Amino acid sequence: MTTRDSRGHWSRREFLKTAGVGLGALSLASFVGFSQATPAIRIGLIDPLLLPVGTAATRGASIAVDEINAAGGVLGRPFKVDSYIKDDGLDTSVGPQNFETLVVEDKVLAVVGGFLDEVTLAIVDTVLPRLRTPFLNTGTATPETTDRVRTDYANFKYYFRLMLDTDILTADTVSAAAGVLGKEVHVTSAGILVEDGVFGRDFQSFMETKLPGVGISVPSGASFRFPESGSFDFSSILNQSKEAGVEAFIIAFARNDGVGFVTQWFNQGPRVPVLGINVSGQAFEYYASTLGKVVSHVYADAATGATAITEKTLPFFNSYVSRYTTPPVQPLFTGYTTYDSIYILKQAIERIGETPPLTGDEAGYSAYKDELVAAIEQTDIISTVGHVRFQGKSDPKPHDPFTLDAQGNVFVVPKWVQWQVENGKADRKVVWPTEYKNSQFVPPPPQS
């Protein structure tokens, strides 16, 4: 007969007995191959699986799980994620339904992932308060999710974000525009081009308000939105921008792959500098996808293989590129953040000091999830993208990552990466901020 402590957890001693592991055999090597009797800790993942960001996220999670399990697991138990992966379909109905399936039917301890603002908001608003399961969001930027935690902590404390939010991304876009376009290229005006979604509209409003403050005006009639999905002809937008005399474009592409814009920008012009958010543009394959026409574009990224953001960045990057030969062959930002989320969960469980009870103990399992929230709130970890600590419930953005510590040291910030060609080979170089910079900005090739 086995016993549990007052919180309903398996004690480490009793768990090891149940799993058939002798107490004298606690070396790491003894855990590399877990016995069939060892119950796995189930972690769910939800993302748009047909998009590169979804592929990168699942791969990042897989690498982290394999590393953790090879080193003995979490307090002697393995993580398992591969059986608990769901597509959100980029749909505000499908996302919540599949999140609920992960929790109710698959009985996962926590869920990682999430990309499109609208879908993640639907999950947070419609099912998270009822399911009360930690959700480590690794790809969504809208501040509305964090607002829920701030205004109704009891119901929304289960939500955490590893991705930087729209407020941070937009402010940093203005900073990068001022530092790269303003100071280095002497740009004084820019057109704005964004998807017509939650993220795009927020981004556009911020750019229109803040760019003039750093000396970059937005000419009348040069701020545009286009549909999130489907193909789109950018010819009229480019013509209007040329007539307005824009000297650069500030863009925000999340769901749209941006290939149409890049191609028409190169062929039609105005071939002025482009800086902003282009999620698909982070992929190594993007240079080939645009037939080399993306050269000189500057996009925000969480990390890049060219820069050792922390001691964790390059090892993860190298593991990814050695393991995967199908696109994306280099990790997008969701690969980094989702990899990190698994290690955050590991650290949180170790902080509790006991693994969760078995899933059949519904009351104990539910109580453990609340303990897990409290443990995640204490996260202090060097990740692939920086130093991750979550803001507390009395901070401005509870459960978002801090960007700076009290002394002003950088924790997590975007890195601005430019597509460049060196010795005939395409590469992405960091051109901003200065502490991570490894190349100078290269202007677009002249229009023929």
Q: What whole-number distance in Å separates Cα of residue 435 and Cα of residue 442?
A: 18
pLDDT, tens only, 220-274 = 999 999 998 788 999 999 999 999 999 999 999 998 999 999 999 999 999 999 9
Q: What whole-number distance in Å separates Cα of residue 93 and Cα of residue 114?
A: 14
pLDDT, tens only, 372-388 = 999 999 999 999 999 99
Are 12-163+310-388 and 167-301+414-436 in the same CATH fold? yes
Q: Six-digit token pair at 315?
A: 């090892």
Is 167-301+414-436 in CATH node 3.20.20.70?
Answer: no
pLDDT the model gives residue 3: 40
Whether the CB-CB separation of 194 and 251 falls below 8 Å is answered with: yes
Between 26 and 365, name the one with better pLDDT.
Answer: 365
Between 283 and 326, name the one with better pLDDT.
Answer: 326
Dihedral sign for Cα 345, 346, 347, 350, please.
Answer: positive
Q: What's the CATH superfamily of 12-163+310-388?
A: Response regulator (3.40.50.2300)
Q: Six-digit token pair at 164?
A: 């930087």
Residue 48: partners with Cβ closer than 8 Å, 6 or more residues away: 54, 87, 88, 89, 90, 115, 116, 119
Q: What whole-number distance in Å separates Cα of residue 203 and Cα of residue 316?
A: 30
Residue 256: partners with Cβ closer than 8 Å, 6 or more residues away: 195, 226, 228, 229, 232, 280
Q: Hey, what long-range contacts does 20-24 have (CB within 8 A, 24 or more apart)? A: 21/76
| Of the candidates 225, 221, 241, the residue with the CA atom closest to the CA atom of residue 193 | 225
pLDDT the model gives residue 27: 32
Q: How many residues does the chain have?
A: 448
Domains in the chain: boundaries: 12-163+310-388, 167-301+414-436
Confidence of residue 32 (pLDDT cuts 50, 70, 90): low
pLDDT the model gives residue 15: 35
Dihedral sign for Cα 420, 424, 427, 429, please.
Answer: negative
Q: How far is CA 265 from CA 23, 128, 294, 296, 416, in A?
A: 65, 42, 9, 12, 20
pTM, entire model: 0.85
Whether the CB-CB separation of 327 and 339 falls below 8 Å is answered with: no
Q: How far is CA 269 from CA 80, 369, 387, in A?
A: 49, 54, 40
